[in-house]
Amino acid sequence: MSLEPDDALPIGEVVRRTGVAASALHYYEQMGLIAAHRTSGNQRRYARHMLRRISLILVAKRLGIGLGDVRDVFTTLPMETVPTIRDWQRVSQRWRTQLEERKREIEQLERELTGCIGCGCLSMSACQLLNPGDELAEQGPGPRRLVPSAQSRPRPRRELDVIQ
């Protein structure tokens, strides 16, 4: 089938051009990341600018940005038209901020891990990797989140208890 430049693309063509599996495209569609319209024969057709959205999903995946975050950002982009350069700048700036946050978290973990190398104490009071933040330490030593378990509550008497 030959396609005119303005023709909407059948799913096979989108798969061929993006390398994304048809099942993943269906999933993206369910999530509202991309959209397709249906032909009279109930076949999906994708507007060409969906290729850009899919490319951006692939970039996000490479950056470790979750599909939930992609969806958040995509809700600010027009679905029916090609996003503008400004739209893309906004998206990339937001993801850059997320990457910088993650980088700071990784650097913090790296510092904590450095303190643990060769230690091995895995102490709840000293090891920041094992017990980050230690919010419950302010309440004093010992277990803080224990609730009466089924074993510690009085057990109802059964007939066998009476016989023995």
The footprint of ligand FES (CB under 6 A) covers 115-116, 119-123, 126-127, 129
Closer by beta carbon to ligand FES, 32 or else 132: 132
Place of tokens 């975050």: 69
CB of 112 to ligand FES, least distance (A): 7
CB of 137 to ligand FES, least distance (A): 14
Q: For residue 124, give both structure tokens.
A: 């709840």
Whole-Å CA distances, 55 to 5, 21, 49, 81: 19, 13, 10, 16
CB of 131 to ligand FES, least distance (A): 9
Distance, C-alpha 89 to centroid of its chain: 21
Closer by beta carbon to ligand FES, 64 or else 115: 115
CB of 154 to ligand FES, least distance (A): 41
Q: Which amino acid is at 85?
A: I
CB of 128 to ligand FES, least distance (A): 7
Closer by beta carbon to ligand FES, 22 or else 121: 121
d(CA 162, CA 85): 81
Which among 48, 49, 50, 58 has a CA at the least distance from the CA of 95? 58
Closer by beta carbon to ligand FES, 72 or else 107: 107
d(CA 25, CA 80): 17
Closer by beta carbon to ligand FES, 93 or else 123: 123
Three-class secondary structure of residue 27 per DSSP: helix
